[in-house]
């Protein structure tokens, strides 16, 4: 699997006359090598050459995670030694290159400084080529995302009975994250959002110590991770009866979500899908209260290509995976967001989520 992915990357590199691609810890390194690490104070680099050779520079503490069978060379260093000597050895293994391809959007300054010790003439961004490769999900990737979705849905179902007046948003988030861990989630891809009442007007209203009150809507936006792959889910629920205004807002968002999803098929653009949902919300008089893009790609990252937003003329193709998450946010009143995870198919779409979208009143 990883070998096939690297072969595709090497094909891009040869077309663009890139001699070596340098990857840093994160989703791209995981995608091409299987090595799952986060960027830290310990320098880690992977080099993929235009003739498909693979070189690792890793701290000793992570050495056992490297697949030795696929590596042409593995250079390690201890905490006491530091990476300086290892960088020079890495340089010797790679030799001189005309052009290096690097991840401009994810590389830290420390990693950039390390790369400056290598021998090359030109530096270019290989990120766009990698993003294009990763946009089309493989069958097994979709299967892992489906499992992450199942974990998220089951965990929400288990958490809802614990929501009552006087419980804090933080307590709800803790319960939800506990339920996901119990079901196999490796963590959360972003800070869990539980935003009740007036705080629901904050699109990124991370869980706080605010107590939930009756008559409020509660926006719950959270994610699960299964074998590296992400599910990103939002549902908005009510604690007992809510006002007619809040019910109207909920119905508008639900219509925008469902109508945009029904339109998904190959050949549509990201702009087209966004415009459908945005048009419904605008026609209802809440256009200024929908303040973010309609969706974003999902996979090994919580946010990746494709971005479903205005003026993005990217044409949808089978295998693309993304969210559809329209929202309305009214200051001092509350907010609603409903989010599903979609896969573009040959003839339309597949919604990985099965959780109901009718308003749940607790």
Query: Which token pair is 47?
Result: 């080099």
Q: What is the pLDDT of residues 81-130, one digit of tens each?
A: 999 999 999 999 999 999 999 999 999 999 999 999 999 999 999 999 99
Contacts with 308 (C-beta within 8 Å, 6 or more apart), sequence order: 270, 273, 274, 293, 294, 295, 296, 322, 323, 324
pLDDT of residue 289: 98
Are 323 and 232 contacting, i.e. CB atoms less than 8 angstroms apart? yes
pLDDT of residue 96: 96
**Prediction pTM value:** 0.96
Q: What is the mean pLDDT of the chain?
A: 97
Residue written as token pair 């190959």: 266
Q: What is the pLDDT of residues 271-330, one digit of tens each?
A: 999 999 999 999 999 999 999 999 999 999 999 999 999 999 999 999 999 999 999 999
What is the band of 76 on the pLDDT scale with cuts at 50, 70, 90? Answer: very high
pLDDT of residue 15: 96
pLDDT of residue 12: 95
How far apart, in whole angstroms, are the C-alpha atoms of residue 312 and residue 85? 45
Q: What is the pLDDT of residues 29-64, one digit of tens each?
A: 999 999 999 999 999 999 999 999 999 999 999 999
Within 10 angstroms of residue 79's Cβ, the number of other Cβ atoms is 11
Contacts with 92 (C-beta within 8 Å, 6 or more apart), sequence order: none
Q: Which domains does the chain have, with CATH numbers?
A: 2-134 (3.40.350.10), 136-361 (3.90.230.10)
pLDDT of residue 142: 98
State what percent of residues in the chain have pLDDT above 90.
99
State what percent of residues in the chain have pLDDT above 70.
100
What is the band of 66 on the pLDDT scale with cuts at 50, 70, 90? Answer: very high
Q: Name the nearest CA neighbour of 164 among 357, 355, 356, 361.
A: 361
pLDDT of residue 198: 98
Q: Name the nearest CA neighbour of 340 among 298, 307, 300, 304.
A: 298
Are 331 and 350 contacting, i.e. CB atoms less than 8 angstroms apart? no
Classify residue 294 by burial, with Cβ atoms within 10 Å: 0-12, 13-18, 19+: buried
Query: Which token pair is 303?
Result: 């946010």
Q: Is 41 helix (H, G, I), strand (E, B) or coil?
A: coil
What is the band of 349 on the pLDDT scale with cuts at 50, 70, 90? Answer: very high
pLDDT, average across residues 140-150? 98
pLDDT of residue 341: 98
pLDDT of residue 120: 96
């Amino acid at each position: 699997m990883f070998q096939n992915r690297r072969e595709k990357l090497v094909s891009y590199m040869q077309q663009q006359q890139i001699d070596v691609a340098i990857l840093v810890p994160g989703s791209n390194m995981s995608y091409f090598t299987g090595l799952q690490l986060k960027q830290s104070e310990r320098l880690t680099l992977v080099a993929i050459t235009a003739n498909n050779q693979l070189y690792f520079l890793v701290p000793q503490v992570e050495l056992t995670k490297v697949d030795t069978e696929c590596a042409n060379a593995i250079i390690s260093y201890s905490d006491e030694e530091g990476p300086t000597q290892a960088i020079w050895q890495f340089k010797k293994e790679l030799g001189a290159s005309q052009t290096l391809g690097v991840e401009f959007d994810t590389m830290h300054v420390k990693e950039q400084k390390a790369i400056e010790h290598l021998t090359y003439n030109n530096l270019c961004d290989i990120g766009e080529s990698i993003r294009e490769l990763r946009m089309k999900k493989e069958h097994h990737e979709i299967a892992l995302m489906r499992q992450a979705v199942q974990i998220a849905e089951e965990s929400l179902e288990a958490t809802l009975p614990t929501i009552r007046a006087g419980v804090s948003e933080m307590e709800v988030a803790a319960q939800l994250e506990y339920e996901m861990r119990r079901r196999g989630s490796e963590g959360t891809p972003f800070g869990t959002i539980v935003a009740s009442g007036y705080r629901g007007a904050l699109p990124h209203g991370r869980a706080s110590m605010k107590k939930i009150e009756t008559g409020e809507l509660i926006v719950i936006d959270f994610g699960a991770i299964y074998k590296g792959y992400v599910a990103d889910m939002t549902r908005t629920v009510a604690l007992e009866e809510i006002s007619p205004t809040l019910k109207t807002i909920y119905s508008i968002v639900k219509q925008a979500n469902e109508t945009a999803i029904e339109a998904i098929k190959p050949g549509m653009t990201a702009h087209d899908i966004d415009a459908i949902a945005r048009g419904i919300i605008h026609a209802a008089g809440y256009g200024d209260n929908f303040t973010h893009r309609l969706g974003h790609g999902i996979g090994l990252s919580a946010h990746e290509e494709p971005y479903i937003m205005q003026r993005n003329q990217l044409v949808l193709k089978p295998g693309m995976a993304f969210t559809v998450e329209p929202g309305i946010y009214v200051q001092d009143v509350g907010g609603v967001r409903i989010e599903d995870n979609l896969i573009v198919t040959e003839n339309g779409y597949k919604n990985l989520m099965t959780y109901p979208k009718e308003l749940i009143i607790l």
